[in-house]
Amino acid sequence: MTGGYRDVYAAWERDPLFFWEQAAQTIDWFRAPTRIFDEGQGVYGRWYADGVTNTCYNCLDRHVEDGRGDQLALIHDSPMTGSVTRYTFSEALGEVKAIAGVLSSLGVGKGDRVVIYMPMIPEAVFSMLACARLGAVHSVVFGGFAAHELMHRIEDSEAKLVITASCGLEPGRVVPYKPMVDQAIADGQVKPAHVLVYQRPQAEAEMIAGRDVDFAAAVRDAKAAGRDQIACEPVLATDPLYILYTSGTTGQPKGVVRDNGGHMAALAWSMQNIYGVKAGDVFWSASDIGWVVGHSYIVYAPLINGSTTIVFEGKPVGTPDAGTFWRVVAEHGVSALFTAPTAFRAIRKEDPEAEFVGKYPMPTLKALFLAGERADPETLKWAERHLGVPVIDHWWQTETGWAIAANPFGLDLLPVKHGSPALPMPGYQVDVLDDAGHPVANGVLGNIVIKLPLPPGCLASFWKADDRFRKSCLEEFPGYYKTADAGYRDEDGYLFIMARTDDIINCAGHRLSTGQMEEVCATHPDVAECAVIGVADELKGQIPCGFLVLKNNVSREAGAIEKEVVNLVRQEIGPVAAFKMVIPVTRLPKTRSGKILRGTMQKIADRQPWKMPATIDDPAILGEIEAALRAHGH
């Protein structure tokens, strides 16, 4: 596929099936697909329906067979432990085969679900690949989620086995993971038969006899006994590779299901054409395997592409300083770096003049990619100025698995417009509609939607919840997928993504549901009513802020109750919720039909212009909310 962006996008528009047929040729198939798109299957059709393949084979085996065995596949760089560990493709394959052998001997086979709750260590990536090798379906849970969230995911996926580590490492503290797993299993209805535990020296986990299995010992034994010769299970292109739970509008997270074939074809296309990364290049996505960015661009895309990936266990600042990112780029010869804008805001705050950048020569770095939240133009310009490479904002979501809109660096770099993730990628016809479903004019804010069918790589459905998928994503705008993002398009077709249309907020690049936090706050016995909104934050973009109305008969000190509510959210959802701001109020502003005016509250909090809603029940309450916010220094 050659040509600049306009040619390539036009080629896709002319003949989408031919376009995706060609893209699929970069993948090794056990049986090549003859039906590129089957509109009769699935919720909106399925890609490569009769193709047979294996994702692990495409990530590892084929590169070893093609002579890349000695090239680095994975570099684990951990400022948290002060170590760097490297694996070639051959070594990575050896580890993955052995883990697959262990999983198999513990009864895991094709189609079984495996929950992975691990920190940023190579064993986490190898475990994902081992599941893929067996045709088992992994569901990775981010380490910042607490036991209750973990339990939901184990239950919904009906996991047969959990893989975990004894602990994760956060700056200044060791976070025990295994007790969370024990609690999640104890509290839930679904009882996985085994828990495979990777013991880390920073905290040894207690083992439950008969259920828990030591990861390292089991892998060692599998190798010694020759139980590591596990071949790749042929799977249909449409078989699930993984389930990744993401925040929905209710407390119940949505299990986004990703397939094998379409996922690989789309990711391979993106590596070449969006990121401009070749086999042998070093690609670094500074995210976490618990998020979609980690799934797609730490694990699968770089390895499918024959590139070297970096698994980074650290933070942009404080591990040990704001120069860590540049040290990693320089030391490992990174050619493209991908992270969330919040990481750059953190670095810029610590090192406004970018003095650390000068300390690390980075001749290999060709571009910086930002996604996960809106890239504010100031941060973007700062990065451009100090790194001297193109800084590329691109927009996507857990549901799509790869960029909906981007500036395709690998094809040709289009003019950059700060604040815009540029133009739709092939596969995506993006429209902006008003609430009644009519297209809006350029420059007018509306609902951003994608014309069906979604391209390869996007979700097939929600796990065992086709109806929920239809209702929440496809029904409101018939013929389209609703992104739940609001924004506009300018006269050149550039998209500007401005806000969510639901109750999801983006905090430090992490997707959180305020509705879910409200559900948790409401369980506190002294809380009569509550509302959680996202308020602007200089570092994290947005942070949650809870307004609590206490019950009339409560005589306890409000401060103590506020602390309890904060702890409750931390316990139930996890520290990742970053729920620390609680404001007591006597009543909440509502419409006459009883709907809480969260949107107006948010505008007041962020000091944006707002209009008195015509349907408001008692206008005085908004004044009370404003006073309470300002009294809290917001």
Interacting residues toward ligand AMP by CB under 6 A:
246, 292, 371-375, 393-398, 421, 483, 485, 497, 500, 506, 511
Compute the least distance from the CB of residue 568 to ligand AMP, in Å.
Answer: 24
Query: For 451-465, what is the HEC assignment?
Result: ECCCCCCCCCEECCC
- 370 vs 629 by CB, closer to ligand AMP: 370
Pairing verdict, β 167-170 and 173-176: antiparallel
Q: Is 514 in the site for ligand COA (CB under 6 A)?
A: no
If we measure between CA atoms, which residue out of 289, 300, 296 comes closest to residue 141? Answer: 289
- 372 vs 534 by CB, closer to ligand COA: 372
Compute the least distance from the CB of residue 417 to ligand COA, in Å.
Answer: 22
176 residue type, one letter: P
Residue of the chain from 259, 288, 431, 572 that contacts ligand COA (CB under 6 A): 288
The order of strands in the sheet holding 495-500 is 430-433, 446-451, 480-489, 495-500
- 307 vs 420 by CB, closer to ligand AMP: 420
Q: Among 403-411, 501-509, 596-604, 615-623, which window interacts with ligand COA (CB under 6 A)?
A: 501-509
Q: Is 605 in the site for ligand COA (CB under 6 A)?
A: no
Sequence-distant (6+) residues with CB within 8 A of 482 are 447, 449, 472, 473, 474, 476
Compute the least distance from the CB of residue 510 to ligand AMP, in Å.
Answer: 7
Residue of the chain from 68, 138, 200, 315 that contacts ligand COA (CB under 6 A): 315
Residue 292 structure tokens: 């979609």
Site string for ligand COA, 102-141 (x = CB under 6 A): ----------------------------------------
* Cβ burial 73-93 (10 Å sphere, 16+ → b, else e): bbbbbbbbbeeeeebbbebbb
Q: Any bridge partners for residue 503, and if so which?
A: none
- 92 vs 432 by CB, closer to ligand AMP: 432
Residue 340 contact, options ligand COA, ligand AMP, none, Cβ 5-8 Å cut-off depending on partner type: ligand COA
Compute the least distance from the CB of residue 570 to ligand COA, in Å.
Answer: 7
The CA distance from 98 to 130, in Å, is 8
Segments of 365-489 assigned E as strands: 367-370, 391-393, 405-406, 423-424, 430-433, 446-451, 461-462, 480-489
Residue of the chain from 180, 311, 450, 508 that contacts ligand COA (CB under 6 A): 508
The CA distance from 371 to 43, in Å, is 28
Compute the least distance from the CB of residue 339 to ligand COA, in Å.
Answer: 6
- 170 vs 624 by CB, closer to ligand COA: 170
The order of strands in the sheet holding 334-339 is 83-88, 72-78, 308-312, 282-285, 334-339, 367-370, 391-393
If we measure between CA atoms, which residue out of 83, 88, 89, 153 comes closest to residue 117? Answer: 153
For the segment 561-580, give every residue that binds ligand COA (CB under 6 A).
575-576, 578
DSSP letters, 391-407, are EEE-B--TTTSS-SEE-
Residue of the chain from 154, 340, 565, 582 that contacts ligand COA (CB under 6 A): 340
If we measure between CA atoms, which residue out of 543, 535, 497 comes closest to residue 376? Answer: 497
If we measure between CA atoms, which residue out of 612, 478, 582 comes closest to residue 521? Answer: 582
Residue of the chain from 291, 300, 325, 409 that contacts ligand COA (CB under 6 A): 291
Compute the least distance from the CB of residue 422 to ligand COA, in Å.
Answer: 18
Compute the least distance from the CB of residue 395 to ligand AMP, in Å.
Answer: 4
Pairing verdict, β 254-259 and 282-285: unpaired
Q: Among 264-272, 311-319, 418-426, 484-492, which window interacts with ligand COA (CB under 6 A)?
A: 311-319
Instruction: By CB under 6 A, name the binding residues for ligand COA.
Output: 143-144, 168, 170, 175, 287-288, 291, 293, 315-317, 339-340, 342-343, 346, 372, 507-510, 540, 575-576, 578
